Structure 1
Amino acid sequence: MKQIRQMRFENKIFKTLDAVVDKLCDTVNPLTNELIKSITLHEWILSIN
């Protein structure tokens, strides 16, 4: 999640839940497959069956 915070979803107080959802969508929609893999594809995750 460190990467997501660095990509514009920093700690902030939002006025509404809709504002949170909008900001999250703006932040994650442009993520590429490669970036998502680099954030989530860790050995310990791969080893879970």
Structure 2
Amino acid sequence: MTTTEKPLTAGDCAYRALIMHTERCARCRNNAACDDAAALARVWKAARR
């Protein structure tokens, strides 16, 4: 039996971008306000709708 992966949705891609950013961003890692993370979160929320 073989499995096939479903293509990523826009929401999946936006979520992955947000997670990758928070892993690499010093401000995010220190729980400081980050404008980039806020923007990525808005994109992710919009893509889920």
Question: Given the two structures, how large is their TM-score scaled by the length of structure 2?
Answer: 0.33
> Using CA pairs below 8 Å that are at least 6 residues apart, which structure has the higher relative contact order?
2
Question: Given the two structures, how large is their TM-score scaled by the length of structure 1?
Answer: 0.33
